[in-house]
Structure 1
Amino acid sequence: MRVRISRVVALAAAIVLTGTASVSGAAAAVAGTHVTTRPTIVLVHGAFADSASWSGVIERLQQRGYPVVAAANPLRGLSTDAAYVRTVIDSVPGPIVLAGHSYGGAVMTNAAAGDPDVKALVYIAAFAPDKGESALELSGKFPGSTLGDTLAPVPLGDGTTDLAIRQDLFRQQFAADVSRQQATLMAVTQRPIRDAALSEGSGEPAWKTIPSWFLLAGADRNIPVAAQRWMADRAGSRATVEIRKASHAVGVSNPRPVADLIVRAATAR
Structure 2
Amino acid sequence: MKSTARFKVFAATAAACGAAAASLVAVNADAATTSPTTHAPSQVSYTAKPTVVLLHGAFADSSSWDSEISYLRGQGYPVFAIDTPLRGLAFDSAYVEAQLKTISGPVVLVGHSYAGEVISQVAAETPNVKALVYVAALIPHAGDTANSLIGQFPGSQLTPANLRTVPLPGGDTDVYITAGQYGSVYANGLPGADILDSSVTQEPIAYSAFSEAATVNPPTATPKWAVIATDDHAVPTKAQEFEAQRVGARITYVNSGHDVPATRPGAVDCAIIAAADSVR
What TM-score do you get using the length of structure 2 for normalisation?
0.81
2: CA distance, partners of 1:125 / 1:177? 14
1:88 pairs, out of 99, 104, 129, with 99
SS at match of 1:206: coil
Q: Which amino acid aligns with 1:157?
A: P
Q: What residue is the counterpart of 2:238 in the other structure?
A: 226
Q: Which has the higher helix share?
A: 1
Q: Which amino acid aligns with 1:119?
A: K
1:192 pairs, out of 181, 204, 225, with 204
Deviations 1:197-243 (A, max 9, x none): 11100021234231111000100011000000000110011x10001
Q: What residue is the counterpart of 1:266 in the other structure?
A: 276
Deviations 1:16-66 (A, max 9, x none): xxxxxxxxxxxxxxxxxxx96100000010000000001011111111111
Q: What residue is the counterpart of 1:146 in the other structure?
A: 157
SS at match of 1:147: coil
Indicate conservation of the 8 Å contact 2:93/2:122, yes or no: yes
Shift of 1:147: 1.1
Indicate conservation of the 8 Å contact 1:77/1:196, yes or no: yes
Runs of 4+ in 1 over 6 A off after TM superposition: none
Q: What residue is the counterpart of 2:261 in the other structure?
A: 251
Shift of 1:158: 2.1
Indicate conservation of the 8 Å contact 1:135/1:199, yes or no: yes
2: CA distance, partners of 1:207 / 1:123? 14
Deviations 1:84-105 (A, max 9, x none): 0111111111110000000011
Q: Which amino acid aligns with 2:127?
A: P
Indicate conservation of the 8 Å contact 1:127/1:135, yes or no: yes
Q: Are 2:87 and 1:76 equivalent residues in the alignment?
A: yes
2: CA distance, partners of 1:208 / 1:150? 36
Identify unmatched segments of 5+ residues in structure 1: 1-34
Q: How does 1:130-169 map to 2 (within 5 A)?
A: 130-148=141-159, 149-169=161-181
Q: What residue is the counterpart of 1:211 in the other structure?
A: 223
1: CA distance, partners of 2:52 / 2:137? 17
User: Percent identity between the aligned chains?
Assistant: 41
Q: Which amino acid aligns with 2:191?
A: S
Indicate conservation of the 8 Å contact 1:121/1:207, yes or no: no
Q: What residue is the counterpart of 1:63 in the other structure?
A: 74
Paired residues, what number?
Answer: 233
What TM-score do you get using the length of structure 1 for normalisation?
0.84
2: CA distance, partners of 1:103 / 1:259? 19
Identify unmatched segments of 5+ residues in structure 2: 1-45
